[in-house]
Structures are given as C-alpha cells and as structure tokens.
Amino acid sequence: MKTIFYEAFFFCIIFISCIQSKSKHITEFSQSDIKNGILIDLRTPEEYGLGHLHKASNANFLDSSFLTYFDTISKSKTIYLYCKKGSLSTKAAHKLDSLGYTAVNLLGGYNALEENNN
C-alpha cells in the first residue's frame, strides 16, 4: 500500500513540474534573449504607449482576439511575455504552452523593471 502511495506521489510531483511554464525575472531579461524569439507586451495599447521594452510587440491579453495574434508566429520561436505586474503574463504563458508554444513569463512585469531602474 505504501509503495502505491509513493509511486502516485512521485508521479504527481513529476507531472506538476512538467506543466509549469518557464519563467525568468524581468530584470534578468536582455535583448540577446530574443535572438530566436519574440518579446510580447500584454498590457493595453494605452499602457504600451506610455513605455515598453525595446523590440516589444503589443498583444493585449484582455482583448477577445488575443490568441489570433499568435496564428502567424512559428511555434519554434520562444515567446517572452510580460505585463504590468506579472499575473497576466503567467496566465498567458500557461495558455500558450498548452497550445504548443514555448513561452517564458518575465516575472515582476514592467513595474518591477521601472522600480529597478529608479
């Protein structure tokens, strides 16, 4: 009985670790990270217009057509995602991962980057 419990527990740990999205703190991100990828700002166009990372494209996560933005992006490219604080980019990374993309959530969001620069 204990063996079955331990096997199930081990399987759960492996399964959970496999479904977690990749992440990196936004302050550790550099433009060289997107040599073979794409950088996406998930905030609204208004927020994007107030400032964004160099070479970032805007794909508003709250827009109903959000996922259609990725229809033309190759699944071989790594997609780096950020938002204002990091919660929307976490959700977007999980969604894109489930669709077969390689998504990296930039933790902390644009706010953390601004705080780090001040």
Residues 26, 110 contacting (CB under 8 angstroms): yes
CA separation for the pair 115, 118 (Å, rounded) = 5
Residues 96, 79 contacting (CB under 8 angstroms): yes
For 4-38, the pLDDT digits (tens) are 644 544 444 434 444 456 999 999 999 898 888 99
- SS3 for 63? coil
Q: Region 79-88: what's the mean pLDDT?
A: 96
- CA 53 to mean position of chain CA atoms: 14
Position with higher pLDDT, 109 vs 117: 109
Phi first, then psi: give them for residue 26, nearest 5 degrees. -60, -30
pTM: 0.80
For 31-74, the pLDDT digits (tens) are 898 888 999 999 999 999 999 999 999 999 999 999 999 999 99
